[in-house]
């Protein structure tokens, strides 16, 4: 069962806010979509939306969000008045759809945009903007799973039905190390023999089962 990023009651407003932010930044302020994505991802705004802070999900307008992103990352003020947006623009749909997927998956915006470029989202608009949003989520999810394929350690651990914390407690391997192995921030193939032995013994598998194939 997938854990959503925050309560669903905030979802609609969060989608509208991010949609309006993209529409305003690209169409009113002439910021290229790819550039706005980069600013959004490195800003604290994206982290606060990921963390489900109500002030950023439903307390701020899209215009306020876009202005805050640019002011924080570029130290520039966006004073351009927003135009009336009666129809969903392509840019609005991109922000709206990505906000839905982030809520649906609980993934970081930085990871989402690492896998799905702004250009790819523009191309998706033409075939998906009138489809049910769950179709968009399914397509993005397949790309995400392909890009961030599970490590053997995570696959075996989840199959075994044990949390990272419990595995750490039973094996004596630090929780941080387990997290880093599963996120591929540390190469499990270079782990000490003792670490591999303790993990394998705890999970009831062989050391070879935990090692990653070099492609």
Tens-digit pLDDT string for the chain (215 aa): 456 889 999 999 999 999 999 999 999 999 999 999 999 999 999 999 999 999 999 999 999 999 999 999 999 999 999 887 667 899 999 999 999 999 998 889 999 999 999 999 999 999 999 999 999 999 998 998 888 888 999 989 999 999 999 999 999 999 999 999 998 888 999 999 999 999 999 999 999 999 987 64
- Whether residue 55 contacts residue 12, with contact meaning beta carbons closer than 8 Å, is answered with no
Within its chain, how far is the Cα of 173 from the centroid? 28
d(CA 191, CA 57): 41
Other beta carbons within 10 angstroms of residue 191's beta carbon come to: 20
Q: How much is the pTM? A: 0.74
d(CA 183, CA 171): 19
Q: Where are the domains of the chain?
A: 8-147, 152-210
Domain spanning 152-210: CATH superfamily: lambda repressor-like DNA-binding domains (1.10.260.40)
């Amino acid at each position: 069962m997938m854990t959503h990023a925050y309560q669903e009651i905030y979802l609609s407003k969060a989608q509208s806010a991010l949609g309006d932010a993209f529409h305003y930044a690209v169409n009113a302020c002439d910021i290229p979509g790819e550039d706005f994505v980069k600013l959004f991802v490195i800003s604290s705004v994206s982290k606060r939306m990921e963390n489900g802070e109500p002030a950023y999900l439903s307390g701020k307008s899209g215009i306020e969000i876009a202005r805050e992103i640019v002011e924080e990352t570029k130290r520039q003020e966006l004073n351009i008045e927003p135009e009336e947006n009666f129809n969903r623009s392509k840019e609005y749909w991109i922000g709206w759809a990505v906000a839905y997927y982030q809520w649906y998956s609980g993934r970081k915006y930085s990871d989402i945009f690492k896998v799905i470029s702004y250009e790819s989202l523009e191309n998706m608009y033409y075939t998906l903007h009138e489809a049910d949003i769950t179709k968009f989520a399914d397509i993005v999810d397949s790309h995400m799973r392909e890009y961030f394929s599970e490590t053997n350690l995570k696959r075996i651990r989840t199959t075994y039905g044990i949390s990272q914390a419990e595995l750490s407690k039973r094996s004596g391997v630090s929780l941080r190390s387990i997290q880093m192995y599963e996120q591929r921030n540390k190469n499990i193939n270079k782990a000490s023999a003792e670490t591999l032995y303790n993990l394998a013994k705890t999970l009831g598998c062989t050391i070879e089962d935990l090692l990653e194939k070099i492609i």
